[in-house]
Amino acid sequence: MTSSTGTGLTGRELIKGHAAARDFLMLIDPDCQFPLSAGAIAAACDRRTGIGADGLVRVARTKSLPGAERFAEAVPEAEWFMDHYNADGSVAEELGDAARLFAQVLLAESLAEIPEGASVTIGTRAGARAVTRTGDLWTVDMGTVLLPARPEDDGEPGGSDWQGWDTSVLIPGIDGPRAGLSVTMPAMRCAHTAVALVDEAELDAAILVRPDGPGEPVRYEPAPEPGSGLELIVALGEETDPGSGEAVGVARLRLLTSGMGEAPSCGEGCCAAAVALHEWDGPGAPQSYRMLVPGGEIGVHVGASPASDDVAVLLTGPAQITGRITVL
């Protein structure tokens, strides 16, 4: 397949793929021999004049990536580094969706042996991350998630004043303010606001636009960090996993990101939503969640909450290579 894009990537082969409809261009450049510019990346990712994608990832050996020398020494098992960029050419902080496709490419290109049930450690800007293969699915260690500090009651955290939310959110298309919970993923320097809605009719009625785009934006009180994401959640109850017998929470989501507006999927957003549901459900809440997003289905496992109120999460989902493009 060829594409006349004028991207500055002339003559290079790019692998196109997606993870729950989040699509990426993957450049195999083990020794970082090909210089990348923000303009070239943005041109390649442009959906009208370029190839089109939500971002570009260079598949590079960690030891060859400029600036990653100390990381390579500290984590020698992370042979490959996910050099990830947003569609506008800026450096990306997101992890979950691109990491699944990254591992799929390592496997398909015979760059790493990843037998069924095995893991590969990859380098990312959020640190070393393990990605585990289970059939056609990949599970990514997403690190820890931080919830707001809870009010104290007689010196004990989680007092009676804690209602499970800390933000008021006005969403175009939905009447009245809704309660939101701030969820932060420190390793990826990204923040999210999770909002529970009454039913799927409300979810469908919401109008989600980028803060810098046309139309009325979502409004928050207090305002979140710049670049924060929004997760609108409708809980659909619980089901029993036929294999393990454990309870699994099920929810339908819509996701708003600062970079691309409403997204078909967002690994970090799914993790934030699962942690919020786990918090709202209280003692006895499921640890595993099945998230129904516009791009497909994502699984999230929420680890036990330590005293610091942060939790560890694992993200599971598909990844698929859809084509190869030689840039003319």
- Terminal Cα-to-Cα distance of the chain (whole angstroms): 10
**pLDDT band at residue 9 under the 50/70/90 scheme:** confident
d(CA 221, CA 177): 10
| Phi, psi (deg, nearest 5) at residue 69 | -60, -45
Write down the H helix ranges in the chain. 38-45, 69-74, 96-108, 200-205, 267-281
**pLDDT band at residue 157 under the 50/70/90 scheme:** very low
pLDDT, tens digit, 9 for 90 and up, residues 181-198: 999 988 778 899 999 999
| Among 94, 90, 108, CA closest to 26 | 108
**Cα–Cα–Cα angle for 94, 225, 222, nearest 5°?**
140
For the chain, what percent of residues have pLDDT higher than 70?
A: 92
**pLDDT band at residue 212 under the 50/70/90 scheme:** confident
pLDDT, tens digit, 9 for 90 and up, residues 112-153: 999 999 999 999 999 999 999 999 999 999 999 988 877 654
* H/E stretch holding 310: strand 310-318
For the chain, what percent of residues have pLDDT higher than 90?
A: 75
Structure-token match 């970079």, residue found: 259
What is the amino acid identity at position 254? R
pLDDT of residue 151: 67
| Among 84, 60, 5, 103, CA closest to 321 | 103
Q: Which residues of 49-66 are buried (b: 16+ CB within 10 A; e: fewer)?
A: ebbbbbbbbbbbbbbebe
**258 or 110: which leads in pLDDT:** 110
Peptide bond preceding 222 in cis form (omega within 30 of 0): yes
